Structures are given as structure tokens and as C-alpha cells.
Amino acid sequence: MYEDKTLICKDCGNEFVFTAGEQEFYAEKGFVNEPQRCKACRDARKNAARGEREWFEATCDSCGGVAKVPFKPREDRPVYCSECFAKIQQEESAE
């Protein structure tokens, strides 16, 4: 039903593909307009609106490695590196 479309980003002028899957998703959500920006420009715009994030370093409670997190760690809560966090999430979803 849907076919991939090549669109032009209104910010950078580069071509990007609006895939059939993305078109189907847009239709399911009731979106009537096609995207006007490529993923890189959408992400840059989103991050600019949000402002720069402050990152903190902590020790991973699971493996002992360095964990960089976007929140100030507290002593009463465990902190995990991204690899250990992903493993824990996977284990919890399997239960």
C-alpha cells in the first residue's frame, strides 16, 4: 500500500527517505503532514529546545565500571552503566 518516498529536508536541504513503515505509523497516529526534516535535523532541533544536558560520573553498582548518567547520583539508589542497565531491563521483562 505504502511505498518509500524521497523527501527534501527543509533545514539542511539533503534528501531523506520517508519509509513505507513510517508512512503507515503516521497514518495510524492520524498525522496528515509528511515530515519536513531529516532525522539528524529533527534530533538537533529537539536537543536545542531542551538545552545541553549535564552528565555525571558514578561507579556502576553491578560491574564497578564508570557510568555516565544524566542525573546526580544519590547514595541510597543504585547506578548502572548502560550495558548493565540494559541487562537488568532485559531480565525484568523476561520475568
pTM assigned to the model:
0.51
End residue of a domain, out of 30, 50, 70: 50
Q: Does residue 73 share a domain with residue 46?
A: no
What are the tens digits of pLDDT across the range 13-65? 999 999 999 999 999 999 999 999 999 999 988 888 777 778 999 999 999 99
Q: Does residue 38 share a domain with residue 12?
A: yes
Instruction: Select from 85, 52, 88, 59 the least CA-distant residue to 73.
Output: 59
Q: Does residue 30 share a domain with residue 16?
A: yes
Structural domain of 80: 56-94
What per-residue confidence (pLDDT) applies to 39?
93
Q: How many structural domains compose the chain? A: 2
Q: Does residue 43 share a domain with residue 15?
A: yes
Q: Does residue 26 share a domain with residue 9?
A: yes
Q: Does residue 64 share a domain with residue 45?
A: no
CB 62 within 8 A of CB 82: no
Average pLDDT, stretch 86-90?
A: 91
Give residue for cell 560520573.
57
Amino acid at 80: Y
